[in-house]
Amino acid sequence: MGVSLEDVKKLKELTGLGLGDAKNALVEADGDFDKALEALRKKGLTKAEKKGDRETREGIIDSYVHSDRIGVVVEVNCETDFVARLPEFREFAHQMAMQIAAMSPIYPTMEDVPTDLYEAKKAELLAADDLASKPEEIREKIVEGQLKKHFAEQVLAEQPYVLDDTITVAERIKQQVAKHGENLRVSQFKRIELGVNE
């Protein structure tokens, strides 16, 4: 089956790949656009996992004000100044500010949750009466799930993404990493709500 130039261009736009790579993906998928896109997404997300530990020293600070009542300032980092200046990166940073305004997270990632707070909650959950009769390894697994659920609302990366609740913020970040070919992270933010003092 032939590969149309139109499909190659469309695939290039959606993935940020070069024309040659987009064409090769379509050839491998026998001209099936959806199949090619899915294959590239899987490949891109796999690459995104590997980029996750690279340093992010560039980026931008973005802000968002909702109805003059909620304000957010957020720092989103990337690896290069080139990516930091891209309109798509700026749009992503703004989406993160909107997410923070809507969902009120406290910490960027699970790693940012203070250890003493995490351990105190874990001890509290392990002490629950209904867990006492269960074997230790089962108790640990149950408590692990409960901890994840407890902190899911407080941790930005674990929250459902407000613009597409079929994915988490962490998955949205991975999509951006795959698209830009660089590690990205939301490193800090401040949310202020009128009349609410922390």
Tell which residue, 100, 102, 114, has the closest CA to residue 189: 100
Residues 68 and 134 in one domain: no
Residue 32: CB partners within 8 Å, gap ≥ 6?
1, 26
- What per-residue confidence (pLDDT) applies to 64? 96
State the average pLDDT over residues 3-26.
73
Token digits of residue 16: 């940020």
Return the closest-CA partner of residue 16 out of 2, 33, 37, 30.
Answer: 37
What's the CATH number where 41 sits? 1.10.8.10
Residue 75 contacts residue 105 (beta carbons within 8 Å): no
pLDDT of 146 over the 80 cut: yes
Q: What is the pLDDT of residues 59-107, one digit of tens each?
A: 999 999 999 999 999 999 998 889 999 999 999 999 999 999 999 999 9
Average pLDDT over residues 138-146: 86
Give the domain range for residue 45: 5-51
63 and 101 belong to one structural domain: yes
Q: Are residues 25 and 93 in the same domain?
A: no
Query: pLDDT at position 134, please?
Result: 81
Residue 113 has pLDDT above 60, yes or no: yes
Do 105 and 164 fall into the same domain? yes
Euclidean distance between CA atoms 77 and 15, whole angstroms: 21
Q: Is residue 23 part of a domain?
A: yes
Over its C-alpha atoms, the chain yields an Rg (Å, rounded) of 21
The answer to whether 69 touches 194, Cβ cutoff 8 Å, is: yes
- pLDDT bracket for residue 42 (50, 70, 90): low
| pLDDT-based confidence at residue 163 (cuts at 50, 70, 90) | very high
pLDDT at 45: 46
Q: Are residues 143 and 158 in the same domain?
A: no
Domain total for the chain?
Answer: 3
Q: What is the mean pLDDT of residues 22-47?
A: 72
Q: 160 and 95 share a domain?
A: yes
CATH of the domain at 180: 3.30.479.20
pLDDT of 44 reads 59
At 51 the pLDDT is 47
Regarding whether 74 and 99 lie in a shared domain, the answer is yes
Q: Looking at the structure, do residues 101 and 163 belong to the same domain, yes or no?
A: yes
Is a pLDDT exceeding 70 seen at residue 169? yes
Given this model, what pLDDT does residue 18 score?
65
Spatial distance between the Cα atoms of 62 and 184, rounded to a whole number of angstroms: 15
- pLDDT at 53 (0 to 100): 52
103 and 62 fall within a common domain: yes
Give me the mean pLDDT over the 108-120 stretch: 91
Residues 101 and 17 in one domain: no
Which pLDDT belongs to residue 8? 76
198 part of a folded domain: no
> Do 96 and 165 lie in a common domain?
yes
With the CA atoms of 64, 67, 70 and 74 taken in that order, what torsion angle do they form, in degrees rounded to the nearest 10? 0
For the chain, give the mean pLDDT. Answer: 84
Confidence class for position 48, pLDDT limits 50, 70, 90: very low
Task: Give phi and psi for 26, each to the nearest 5.
Answer: -65, -40
pLDDT for the residue numbered 88: 93
